[in-house]
């Protein structure tokens, strides 16, 4: 077995390409990862402009623009299918830094602004579901 980073069921992650630190939930039952967006606008040239919600109260918003990596039909946890836009960015968690693909979706009613699915977790992380924050502090990083 290769050396993998142990993480808890939720951790603080960095998305350095976007200068974001955000709390994410590890979800081994989800294939893809998702980040909470208030607005997603498709642009010419296969690009997308999106506004990331950094908190649950819409007080901290960040608007970004990226190329569309892929478009997929995704079934949510409620069983309903939706077409989603995915973009690629760098994820830093503990000692691991890697490129990940995330869907741009409204997670306003969810507790966590970001979800890490199997495609992002696989090969690099082992999730200890009994632990809240293994690799990072429970308190928000400075």
What string of pLDDT tens digits covers the 142 residues of the chain?
A: 568 999 999 999 999 999 999 999 999 999 999 999 999 999 999 999 999 998 777 678 999 999 999 998 887 667 778 889 999 999 999 999 999 999 999 888 888 999 999 999 999 999 999 999 888 888 776 6
Let me know if residue 116 belongs to a domain.
yes
Let me know if residue 117 belongs to a domain.
yes
Let me know if residue 118 belongs to a domain.
yes
Torsion angle of alpha carbons 85, 36, 52, 126, nearest 10°? -90
Output the pLDDT for position 1.
Answer: 52
Let me know if residue 120 belongs to a domain.
yes
Let me know if residue 108 belongs to a domain.
yes
Question: Which domain covers residue 82, as residue numbers?
Answer: 5-34+69-128
- Comparing CA positions, the residue from 91, 86, 92 lying closest to residue 67 is 86
Domain of residue 73, CATH code: 2.40.70.10
Let me know if residue 42 belongs to a domain.
no
Distances (CA, A) of 105 to 13, 54, 129, 140: 18, 13, 24, 23
Let me know if residue 61 belongs to a domain.
no
Q: pTM higher than 0.75, yes or no?
A: yes
Let me know if residue 59 belongs to a domain.
no
**How far is the C-alpha of 99 from the C-alpha of 88, rounded, in Å?**
7
The number of distinct structural domains making up the chain is 1
């Amino acid at each position: 077995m290769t050396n993998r980073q142990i993480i808890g069921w939720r951790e603080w992650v960095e998305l350095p390409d976007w200068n974001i630190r955000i709390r994410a939930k590890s979800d081994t039952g989800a294939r893809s990862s998702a980040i909470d967006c208030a607005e997603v606008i498709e642009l010419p040239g296969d690009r997308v402009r999106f506004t990331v919600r950094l908190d649950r109260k819409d007080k901290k918003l960040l608007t970004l623009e990226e190329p569309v990596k892929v478009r997929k039909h995704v079934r949510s946890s409620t069983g309903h299918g939706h077409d989603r836009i995915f973009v690629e960015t760098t994820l830093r968690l503990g000692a691991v830094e890697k490129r990940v693909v995330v869907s741009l979706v409204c997670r306003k009613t969810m507790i966590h602004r970001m979800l890490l699915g199997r495609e992002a977790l696989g090969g690099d992380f082992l999730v200890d579901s009994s632990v809240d924050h293994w690799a990072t502090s429970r308190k928000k990083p400075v």
